Amino acid sequence: MKKRPNKLPEPTAVGAVPVPLSRSPFRYRGSRRKSAVAQLAMSQQTKRYAQFIPLILLLATMATFGGGCASSTLPPTLSATEKDRLKTARLTFTVGVETYKYPAYSDALVKALRNTGVFVRVDHLERFSSPPALVARVEREIYGSSAIPLWTLLTLGLVPTTTEESFGYAFSLSRPGQEAQRIPVEYSYRGRTTLGWEALFLRLSPNYSIDPESSQRFRGRLALAILDHEDEIGK
């Protein structure tokens, strides 16, 4: 006598075909859910990165046009004779710089005259408690190019811009109260300024600088221009 099975087989509909798990609609639904979650996560991550784009653009622009990616040619080198002259030449005068109508020019002249090391003291005229020996006045504005580096700006410095600029100072020296007897002094030169990432490589050359007016060459050249009027200044 045959034993009856403990569990009867479940009935199936006539003509029904078993569906493999890999083709189950429930499996597709789970895959779509996972795909949607992954896309949402990627979208949120992209948004997080996108919020830093304006900051990156701003920093790149500041680096390109704020001096970080600018380089200018220096004035001619000093000869051995000129260097020897600068080692011993000093003028025992104090100099007060009169405020110009555009104070940035007179402020820059104060800094430039100090850097030469020719005079005993250089300062703004109003900071002297007693009149200085000499009064310096800006006589002519020397400034750089006003060209707008459009392509360099649009490419964030990848496309460089090179322009010709003037560097230097044109001023006069006179005794206090003797404005009519001004002694004109000037040193200036024309140089090339490059804006963009190329300027970083140019700066590796000894003939380029980010600030040529602070270079030893420029300080020496301006000092020599002053010393050329030593006899007039000493009268």
CA-nearest of 130, 112, 125 to 185 is 112
What percent of the chain shows pLDDT beyond 70?
A: 69
- Note the Cα 13 to chain centre separation in Å: 81
Burial class (CB in 10 A: 0-12, 13-18, 19+), 29: exposed
Please give the average per-residue pLDDT across 179-185, as a whole number: 92
Cβ–Cβ < 8 Å for 223, 118: yes
Report the distance separating Cα 23 and Cα 17, nearest Å: 12
Secondary structure (3-state) at 173:
strand
CA neighbours closer than 13 Å in the CB half-sphere of residue 216: 9
The lowest-confidence range among 49-58, 148-157, 163-172 is: 49-58
Q: What is the pLDDT of residue 20?
A: 54
* Torsion (CA) 103, 105, 110, 114 in degrees, nearest 10: 160
pLDDT tens, position by position, 97-130: 999 999 999 999 999 999 999 999 999 999 999 9
Residue 41: the pLDDT is 56
0.85 cut: is pTM over it? Answer: no
Number of C-alpha atoms within 13 angstroms, CB side, residue 149? 24
pLDDT of residue 59: 45
pLDDT on residue 105: 97
pLDDT band at 65 (very low <50, low <70, confident <90, very high): very low
Residue 142's nearest CA partner among 181, 112, 98, 173 is 112
pLDDT at 75 over 80: yes
| 193, two tokens | 């300024």
Beta carbons within 10 angstroms of residue 90's beta carbon: 13
Dist CA 11 CA 14 (whole Å)? 9
Q: What integer pLDDT is reported at residue 225 of this predicted model?
A: 97
Q: Given this model, what pLDDT does residue 16 score?
A: 52
Mean pLDDT calculated for residue range 34-58: 55
* Beta strand segments in 79-118, E: 91-97
